[in-house]
Structure 1
Amino acid sequence: MAVVVVTDSSASLPVELVDELDIAVVPLHVLVGDRAIREGADAIDIDYGSDTVTTSAASPGELRAVYEQALARSNGDGVVAVHLSRQLSGTWEAGHQAVRDMDAADRVRLVDSLGAGLATGLPVLAAARRAHSGAALADVYETAVGASSRSRTFVLVNRTEQLRRGGRLSSAAAFFGSELVSKPLLQIVEGRLELREKVRTRSKAYAKLVAAVVDAAGKGGAAVAVQHLGAEDAANTVAAQLRELVPSIHEMIVAEFGPALGVHLGVGAVGVVVVPGGFA
């Protein structure tokens, strides 16, 4: 067989890529009142603006079950599990606990993607392609770690109140974002979500977003992903601008944020992930 790559549903990869590369996906949970809904497995119809909707990580038991199935499917070649930043979710820690409880823990490697959404998805994609080429466990692991460490993420949101309420943004940054700035531009730094810049108008915010990505991409080519929640036209416009401005885009994915991230980002959010140098 080959090394199997596992991730969580925040990775937001298109279903066709997940199927093509045999990626195993563990659902995160969206909590609506007393209901726990599995992202990607159950039908979800939620009000993204409601303060009664929140999220929770996958449990150690859920992760262990998927890791063990993936290990069996690999015929012992091993598993690389790439999850969203441990600064943003308890999923990585739950995965760490799950691995400790496994008999073949030495055959399962965990990677903190230092991001969320397609900032997790792109390293997953890089690792899964490497696995499908027949690479050994250590090589697949290093591919995921390398793509994660090089990726940069920028997110434009309408307000930061939902992020502050969920504890994903510091109180000071949330204050400046929600009270003084009409369109906060955020970035992920070492796995943490931070305020990058205060922008007054939507048009200027998009220009700042594109400029940040172009600068981060550099001149050596890049893999790029654009995500949105209820802002398809804006995302497509940003993607088109980046295709013109970033030299040698090796990979371009445009997708929606899943519900687990959408609960915190809010409708209208647009984010871009760039991996300078791309990946195999």
Structure 2
Amino acid sequence: MSVVIVTDSSSRLPASLLDEHGILQVPLYLTTEDGTSYAEGVDDMPDDIITTPKVTTSGANLRDLQKTYAQAWELSDGDGVVAVHMSRRLSGTWSAARLAAENMDGQVRVVDSRSVGLSVGLTTMAAVQAAEKGADRDGAYEAAVRAAATAESMICVQALDNLRSSGRISAASHMLGSALAIKPILHMADGILTLRERHRTSTKAIAKMLDAAVELAEDEPVTVGIQHCRNPELAESVLEQAVERIEKVTSTIVVDLGAVLGTHVGPGAVGITLGHGLDPLS
């Protein structure tokens, strides 16, 4: 067996990729006002949970991480485990992961992806691809660290209410303004979501996001990922435009942001993630 890779449900990797590559996933959680808790990717959730008031989210817990790391270690037959998780500046998941790893006597290395959403997923796939080519635990860890350092991630948000209540954007949030018509483009910078641009219309914001993606691709081979919150038609349109304009696209992937991340960005959000140095996704 080779090194086993673990991630959390913020990665948004589809079940087909998780199963094909033997990736283990720990859930993030949502809790409703009445105290009902749901594990993402494990429990069936109400269809309207993203728009339900006073829903809170939480990272992967220590118990789940310990259990999953132990399972991954056993599956690796001693080759080791690399765990790729969402930014330490956005969630307590990374801190819990470090605690879980400390109890594994050096068998697990934890990667701070410095991002969230599909960027975590592409960083996870970098570790997977390295391991499948024969890299040892440290080699797979370094591959993930390189992928995290070069990934680019942006998202256009359709409404501001979820952002304002989420507390997951930087101090630049005051620049969003009060007008509901503002359509911000957010991006990951130093492990946090921050404001890149703001526009009056969704059409303009998406056009500017595409312009930025083309520039960031730099004529290098890239994996293009599109993530959305209950907006599949727009996601497919953005993907089509990105593929037409970005010169060297090695593979593409479109995913829904899911309930936990969707609670923070709100319905309608659409984003682009660029992954550098990845082999085509299978």
**Normalised by the size of structure 1, how large is the TM-score?**
0.95
Residue-by-residue CA offset, 1:16-44 (whole Å, 9 max, x unaligned): 11100000000110111201100000001
Instruction: Report matched runs for 1:204-243 at 5 Å.
Output: 204-243=204-243
* 1:83 pairs with 2:82: no
Secondary structure of 1:194's counterpart equals: strand
RMSD: 1.4
Residue in 1 aligned with 2:244?
Answer: 244
Aligned residue pairs total 277
Instruction: Report matched runs for 1:161-176 at 5 Å.
Output: 161-170=161-170, 172-176=171-175
Give the residue type in structure 2 aligned to 1:211: D
Distance 2:91 2:154 in 1: 18
Distance 1:64 1:148 in 2: 24
Larger mean CA deviation between 144-153 and 130-139 belongs to 130-139
Per the alignment, do residues 49 and 273 of structure 1 end up closer, same or farther by CA in structure 2, a change over 3 Å counting? same
Distance 2:108 2:52 in 1: 38
Give the residue type in structure 1 aligned to 2:54: T
Residue in 1 aligned with 2:53?
Answer: 51
Residue pair 1:216, 1:276 contacting (<8 A) in 2 also: no
Give the residue type in structure 1 aligned to 2:81: V
Residue-by-residue CA offset, 1:96-128 (whole Å, 9 max, x unaligned): 1111223x2x12100011111111000111211
Larger mean CA deviation between 180-189 and 270-279 belongs to 270-279
Residue pair 1:160, 1:178 contacting (<8 A) in 2 also: no
Per the alignment, do residues 228 and 7 of structure 1 end up closer, same or farther by CA in structure 2, a change over 3 Å counting? same
Secondary structure of 1:48's counterpart equals: helix
Per the alignment, do residues 101 and 225 of structure 1 end up closer, same or farther by CA in structure 2, a change over 3 Å counting? same
Residue pair 2:129, 2:279 contacting (<8 A) in 1 also: no
Residue in 2 aligned with 1:35?
Answer: 36
Give the residue type in structure 1 aligned to 2:239: A
Secondary structure of 2:42's counterpart equals: coil
Per the alignment, do residues 28 and 178 of structure 1 end up closer, same or farther by CA in structure 2, a change over 3 Å counting? farther
Secondary structure of 2:205's counterpart equals: helix
Moved over 6 A (4+): none
Secondary structure of 1:179's counterpart equals: coil
Distance 1:23 1:150 in 2: 22
Tell me by how many angstroms 1:178 deviates: 5.1
Identity of aligned residues (%): 40
Residue pair 2:12, 2:121 contacting (<8 A) in 1 also: yes
**Normalised by the size of structure 2, how large is the TM-score?**
0.94
Residue in 2 aligned with 1:64?
Answer: 66
Secondary structure of 1:135's counterpart equals: coil
Give the residue type in structure 1 aligned to 2:230: G
Distance 1:260 1:155 in 2: 16
Instruction: Report matched runs for 1:1-280 at 5 Å.
Output: 1-33=1-33, 34-45=35-46, 46-102=48-104, 104=105, 106-170=106-170, 172-177=171-176, 179-180=178-179, 182-279=182-279
Larger mean CA deviation between 34-43 and 92-101 belongs to 92-101
Distance 2:56 2:271 in 1: 20
Distance 1:7 1:24 in 2: 6
Distance 1:160 1:67 in 2: 37
Tell me by how many angstroms 1:49 deviates: 2.5
